[in-house]
Amino acid sequence: MRMLLTPYVQQDLGIVILKPGSELLPNFRRTQRILICNEPEYLQQVNSGPLPDIVQNLAFNHALTPFLINSDVILAAGGKSQLINAISGRKCCQVSDEDCHHQLTTLNYGNSAIRLCWHHDNKMREWSTPVLDELARRNIIEWVLERISSDLRIPEDHQLSIHEVCWWSVLKSVSDRLPEDIARQVLNLPKNSLPGGEMKEADITPFDDRAVPVIEEMAVMAREGWEQLDKPVIKLVGDAEPPQSYMLKPKLIRWECEQYTRWVKTQPCCGCGATADDPHHVIGHGLGGMGTKVHDLFVLPLCRRCHGEIHADTKAWEERHDNQLTLLFRFLNRALGIGALRK
């Protein structure tokens, strides 16, 4: 378990006493080793106490915070509904004290959410305090960084870099939301300091030398290149006069395309937003039949957990995420929009 402790040092005797507090003291009673090391620079502004097992350094980069909590960035990461789903998976109240109740709920808080027990939810539901503001902000930051790692297929123990976040912002078309200082860091430009007092005529820049427009221009050029080089996953060919259309009761032929379903598996899960494992064929809604699957065109990318849940209780899964047909229309619209399907 990673933690920040407050040390008491007596230099004369060479004694170092750690004060873990009642919250962390049980960790010293277990038969496990505990690593104690110098505090890294990115944790200097963090309060003492337990830390998550995986801490992204960028979560404490204040220059990046405006980007991570931006509404457009949240939408690009999956939207508030997926953010709430992720926070709802937490197993403990985020305002933990001796009054906590064992039942948990999720408090919708601005453009974020906070995981609370019933006691603190009833107590704080109508509140707006700096403590709750910070919890909600931290939840957004942690979730967006998790989504960036997932979208880029980065291992969980990897520390994200500014350049990786920038690359993700280009892929998601939100690079224009990057703070100027972050953009300059990505382009290896000197920090832009605002001049004070009188300016010399030689210091006046006759053109826009901001870094954000440069990255956006590079992103536009990259997208144009992708559009020229991109090949569709499949091409849909129409037939104006299919032979079966002249039959009174034609035998329907199931449309299959392994190439398309293989591509679907590479897309984010339509339920939780994680990396998909399976192409889920829509069930119910009058599609398919006894012992048969629907056409391979009517598939959604789902992770293994969501795929199991939707087959176990379709109605409950749709209530949590959305109607399958609505998700299918959105996914097909995206597949057509990015060129995975072309005529």
DSSP string, 24-93: HGGGGTSSS-----PPPGGGTTSPSEE--SS--GGGG-TTTHHHHT-HHHHHHHT-HHHHHHHHHT-SS-
Structure tokens at 174: 């939100």
Q: What is the pLDDT of residues 124-153, one digit of tens each?
A: 888 888 889 999 999 999 999 999 998 998
Percent share of the chain, pLDDT over 90: 27
- State the burial class of residue 332 (Cβ atoms within 10 Å of its Cβ: 0-12, 13-18, 19+): middle
Three-class SS state of 16? strand
Give residue 266's identity as a one-letter amino acid code: T
Residue with tokens 């097909």: 332
Structure tokens at 210: 């901001």
Contact between 63 and 186 under an 8 Å Cβ cutoff? The reply is no
Across 297-312, average pLDDT: 91
Q: What is the pLDDT of residues 33-84, one digit of tens each?
A: 777 777 766 566 666 665 555 568 888 889 999 999 999 999 999 999 999 9
Structure tokens at 137: 């902000």
